[in-house]
């Protein structure tokens, strides 16, 4: 009988090596979650369980379906992970990386092999986002000619889920295909949903040094949206719902082609061509909560519903290279590349829909609001790891972003079209990382600049009387990290660090008089840059394998005790506000709310 080796699961986050996939990770705070090692609810994409071992992550749950994963870091908003550069297999999956960076799509976690998270130091190699990069790496079969996996789940509130995957490797070919389908009635009334996600991957290895692959993801979900409650009704029974005709749906398509080659022993090249075609659809009765959605006795029908729809069409190509060279007695690493990207969004709002109750996007007359947004982006980036000794390295880096954003269209039918708006940015970003190795532990530090372009919603006023500052600026700032991490004697896994995040030029609204000499004419909202915030704190993860520490892991397996802790202090250092006095004569009251806590940051 052959010797059987039992390998126990390690649920602690792993960390990226110095270089991987032509990317430099030296000196950057990062975590890698291997989902097969985590005892969590993957069926429902339960983000609280999955991200529990990454300190500083906050999670929103807008509804219990798990169709959208909302995570934020370091006190930033978790809203559809929009402060992060979200990717699937290294490819963008948000609606528009700059203008509308919300991730309406997420892969089913049953299909995910690992989750990679790189904090603010990711801004140089991935994009300028303040939160860093979040990448979902899907499963692959790399050894067997054929494998099949099925996971089938039933649960409370009518949950039925099935995940089926097959894959294999035969000669020079590799393939992987999965389908995930899930439905439930939901915890609240009028909250049922149906979701489907299909993915196909095919790879051909041209030689030992070169391979090419293609993959395609098709996903769609439809979700009923409960609501129609006043505060008193919600406090009395939060599970009730007075809206039966409100729906939300997201068809999403992501496709990419990938080329990898080793030019020689010191030079690797990767090229990804990718695209996204998606929609965001909603239809419903959107009147105030105190207005009942009931059948009109005169017409014997419900009221017409509001219809909104976004269409997304994105294309891009990203090249990453790594060059290894000798400098003195040590080998150095240079990672560099280029990215070209274009995203087009068509936004249709305030359509007059039917009186039906199902998911019906048909219109009785054209949309009142029709807008078009285009983002064109070219980015150049480079980082070099200078190894001064075998233990100590310095990694300076630079990224240059050219972003051209345009918008045009019609806010409403009465006022007609507004003139085309165009914003061109040329933004250099600098960063510096340090790392010092101590056996199986290391000290790391990083400081990297970041910025966030104004969003589509900042370019178009929600009301005709609102005015947008023509000199509206992008948010800018930087992330800084200092930490100590590693493994001690095989039983202690830890990462303890401090951080400082500066976030300037936050966008908001100022209330101003239409005419200072005639206050009776009322006021308007002036959308402009308001304030600056700073987030600072401690992020700490400690995992102790008790059985390994006691030397009894072979007969008893792993018994881990872990603590994922963070302390986040987020405050405004500059926050100008203006309000109108409620007594005659009307006056603008100017205040500065410096010292106030930042919204969305945990306390």
pLDDT at 452 over 80: yes
149-197 pLDDT, tens digit per residue, is 999 999 999 999 999 999 999 999 999 999 999 999 999 999 999 999 9
Tell me if residue 228 falls in helix, strand or coil: coil
Per-residue pLDDT at 557? 79
SS (H, E, C) 63-87: CCCCCCCEEEECCCCCHHHCCCEEE
269 — phi, psi (to 5°)? -130, 135
Q: Cα(196)–Cα(105) distance, rounded to whole angstroms?
A: 11
Taking residues 445-464, report their average pLDDT. 84
Predicted confidence (pLDDT) at residue 581 exceeds the cutoff of 70: no
Q: What is the mean pLDDT of residues 48-65?
A: 90
pLDDT over 70 at 519, yes or no: no
431 pLDDT more than 80: yes
pLDDT of 7: 55
CATH class of the domain whose range is 19-592: mainly beta
pLDDT-derived band at 223 (thresholds 50, 70, 90) equals very high
pLDDT of residue 414: 74
Local confidence band at 328 (pLDDT 50, 70, 90 cut-offs): confident
φ, ψ (nearest 5 deg) of residue 267: -135, 115
Write out pLDDT tens, residues 224-275: 999 899 999 999 999 999 999 999 999 999 999 999 999 999 999 999 999 9
Percent of the chain residues past pLDDT 90, beyond the cut: 76
| pLDDT of 173 | 98
The pLDDT of residue 61: 86
Tens of pLDDT along 309-319? Answer: 999 999 999 99
389 φ/ψ sector (left φ>0, alpha ψ -120 to 50, else beta): beta
Predicted local confidence at residue 134, as pLDDT: 97
Q: Which of 244, 224, 247 is nearest to 293 (CA)?
A: 244
Q: What is the dihedral of CA 245, 248, 249, 254, to 10 degrees?
A: 180
User: Nearest to residue 123, comparing CAs of 540, 464, 448, 603?
Assistant: 448
Per-residue pLDDT at 195: 97
What pLDDT shows up at residue 399? 98
**pLDDT tens-place string over residues 553-565:** 877 778 889 999 9
Confidence band, pLDDT 50/70/90 cuts, at residue 580: low
Q: Which two tokens stand for residue 505?
A: 């030029």
Paired tokens of 32: 């890698």
Judge whether residue 1 has pLDDT over 90: no
Q: Which residues contact 514 (CB under 8 A, 6 or more apart)?
A: 465, 521, 522, 523, 524
Query: Tens digit of pLDDT for each residue in 350-397?
Result: 999 999 999 999 999 999 999 999 999 999 999 999 999 999 999 999
pLDDT on residue 591: 81
Write the pLDDT tens digit of every residue in 4-56: 555 556 666 889 999 999 999 999 999 999 999 888 899 999 999 999 999 99
pLDDT at residue 511 is higher than 80 = no
pLDDT of residue 122: 85
Instruction: Give the span between the Cα atoms of 143 and 247, in whole angstroms.
Output: 44
More confident residue, 264 or 591: 264
- What per-residue confidence (pLDDT) applies to 579? 64
What's the CA dihedral at 577, 580, 586, 592 to 10 degrees? -20
DSSP reduced 3-state for 558: coil
Q: Say yes or no to pLDDT of 582 above 70.
A: no
Q: Residue for token digits 């039906």?
A: 356
| Residue whose pair of structure tokens reads 């990215």 in the numeric block | 339
pLDDT band per the 50, 70, 90 thresholds, residue 80: very high
């Amino acid at each position: 009988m052959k010797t059987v080796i039992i390998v126990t699961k390690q649920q602690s986050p792993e960390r990226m090596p110095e270089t991987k996939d032509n990317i430099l990770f030296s000196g950057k705070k990062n975590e890698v979650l291997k989902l097969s090692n985590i005892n969590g609810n993957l069926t429902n994409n339960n983000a609280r369980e999955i991200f529990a071992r990454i300190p500083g992550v906050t999670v929103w749950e807008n509804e219990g379906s798990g169709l959208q994963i909302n995570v934020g870091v370091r006190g930033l908003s978790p809203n559809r992970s929009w402060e992060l550069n979200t990717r699937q297999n290294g490819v963008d999956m948000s609606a528009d990386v700059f203008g509308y960076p919300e991730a309406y799509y997420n892969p089913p976690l049953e299909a995910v092999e690992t989750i990679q998270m790189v904090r603010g130091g990711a801004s140089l190699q991935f994009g300028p986002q303040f939160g860093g990069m979040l990448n979902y790496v899907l499963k692959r079969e790399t050894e067997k000619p054929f494998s099949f996996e099925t996971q089938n789940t039933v649960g409370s509130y009518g949950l039925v889920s099935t995940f089926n995957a097959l894959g294999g490797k035969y000669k020079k070919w590799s393939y992987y295909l999965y389908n995930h389908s899930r439905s439930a009635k939901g915890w609240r009334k009028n909250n049922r949903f149906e979701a489907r996600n299909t993915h196909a991957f095919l790879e051909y290895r041209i030689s030992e040094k070169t391979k090419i692959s293609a993959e395609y993801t098709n996903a769609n979900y439809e979700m009923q949206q409960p609501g129609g409650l006043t505060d008193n009704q919600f406090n009395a029974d939060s599970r009730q719902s007075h809206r039966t005709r409100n729906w939300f749906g997201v068809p999403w398509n992501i496709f990419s082609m990938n080329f990898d080659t080793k030019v020689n022993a010191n030079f690797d090249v990767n090229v990804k061509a990718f695209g996204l075609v998606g929609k965001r659809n909603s239809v419903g009765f959107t009147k105030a909560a105190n207005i009942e959605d009931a059948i009109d006795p005169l017409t014997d029908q419900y009221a017409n519903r509001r219809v909104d729809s976004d269409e997304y069409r994105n294309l891009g190509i990203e090249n990453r290279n790594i060059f290894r060279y000798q400098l003195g007695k040590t080998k150095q690493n240079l990672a560099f590349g280029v990215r070209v990207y274009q995203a087009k969004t068509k936004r249709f709002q305030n359509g007059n829909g039917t009186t039906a109750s199902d998911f019906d996007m048909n219109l009785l007359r054209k949309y009142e609001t029709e807008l078009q947004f285009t983002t064109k982006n070219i980015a150049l980036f480079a980082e070099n790891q200078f190894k001064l000794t075998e233990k100590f390295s310095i990694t300076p880096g630079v990224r240059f972003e050219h972003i051209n954003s345009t918008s045009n269209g019609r806010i409403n039918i009465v006022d007609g079209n507004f003139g085309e708006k165009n914003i061109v940015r040329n933004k250099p970003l600098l960063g510096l990382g340090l790392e010092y190795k101590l056996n199986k532990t290391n000290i790391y530090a990083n400081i990297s600049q970041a910025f966030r372009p104004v969003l589509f919603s900042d370019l178009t006023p929600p009301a005709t009387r609102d005015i947008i500052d023509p000199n509206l600026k992008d948010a800018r700032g930087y992330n800084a990290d200092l930490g100590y991490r590693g493994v001690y004697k095989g039983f202690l896994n830890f990462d303890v660090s401090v951080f400082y995040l500066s976030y300037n030029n936050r966008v908001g609204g100022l209330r101003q008089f239409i005419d200072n000499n005639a206050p009776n004419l009322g006021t308007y909202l002036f959308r402009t840059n308001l304030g600056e915030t700073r987030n600072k704190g401690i992020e700490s993860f400690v995992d102790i394998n008790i059985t390994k520490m006691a030397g009894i892991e072979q007969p008893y397996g792993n018994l881990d005790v872990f603590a994922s802790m963070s302390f986040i202090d987020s405050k405004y250092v500059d926050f100008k506000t203006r309000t109108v006095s409620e007594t005659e004569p009307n006056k603008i009251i100017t205040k500065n709310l410096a010292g106030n806590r930042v919204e969305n940051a945990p306390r």
